[in-house]
């Protein structure tokens, strides 16, 4: 007489699968808002770091080359037009004759595009249109640039402020949204 050899079955039951999917759905529902907030903060920090890098480059080049180097808001990457904002982008250039004005004798050191308009704002009212660094490393004019996420609720501590002091120090701080 033959005996039937049964193979053991491997796999998941429908109940186990439904339980795992339910737990995964709950975890996603809890984590999705935090992930969106993380992405928003990361984009704001990246825009701040790009601006700080450009300002630090301008200061170090001014000291190294013993001449004025400026950073200005630029909408086309080739000029410092009066209506350009930091959202449009900026250029770092050796500034020969007039502070903050890019003309034919100036040499471009770096061009940068502004942050995506849907994620980060750099309000025009918060900043000068240009910052120049002299051979001594001092800045003219001093001031600040605000970088904030697109959806910045009043009272949230998500605004990033870049301060440029008269002695040329560039400092980043976290502040409350307006």
Structural domain contains residue 4:
no
Number of domains in the chain: 1
- CATH number of residue 62's parent domain: 3.55.40.10
Of the candidates 91, 94, 117, the residue with the CA atom closest to the CA atom of residue 107: 94
Cα 20 to Cα 17: distance, rounded to the nearest angstrom: 5
Residue 136: pLDDT band by 50, 70, 90 thresholds? very high
Structural domain contains residue 109:
yes
Structural domain contains residue 67:
yes
Q: What is the pTM of this model?
A: 0.79
The pLDDT score that the predictor gives to residue 64 is 94
Structural domain contains residue 84:
yes
Structural domain contains residue 18:
yes
Structural domain contains residue 111:
yes
Cα 70 to Cα 92: distance, rounded to the nearest angstrom: 6
Task: Please state the rounded mean pLDDT for residues 150-169.
Answer: 85
Range of the domain at 105: 14-175
Residue 118: pLDDT band by 50, 70, 90 thresholds? low
């Amino acid at each position: 007489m033959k005996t039937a050899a049964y193979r053991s079955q491997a796999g998941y039951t429908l109940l186990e699968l439904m339980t795992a999917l339910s737990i995964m759905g709950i975890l996603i529902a809890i984590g999705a808002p935090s992930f969106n907030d993380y992405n928003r903060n990361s984009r704001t920090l990246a825009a701040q770091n790009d601006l700080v890098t450009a300002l630090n480059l301008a200061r170090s080049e001014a000291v190294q080359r013993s001449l004025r180097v400026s950073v200005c808001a630029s909408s086309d990457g080739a000029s410092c037009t009066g209506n350009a904002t930091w959202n449009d982008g900026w250029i770092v250039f050796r500034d020969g004759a007039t502070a903050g004005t890019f003309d034919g004798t100036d040499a471009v050191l770096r061009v940068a595009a502004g942050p995506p308009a849907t994620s980060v704002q750099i309000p025009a009212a918060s900043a000068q249109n240009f910052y120049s660094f002299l051979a001594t490393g001092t800045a003219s004019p001093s001031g600040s640039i605000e970088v904030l996420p697109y959806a910045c609720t009043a009272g949230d501590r998500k605004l990033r402020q870049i301060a440029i002091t008269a002695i040329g120090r560039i400092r980043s701080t976290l502040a409350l949204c307006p």
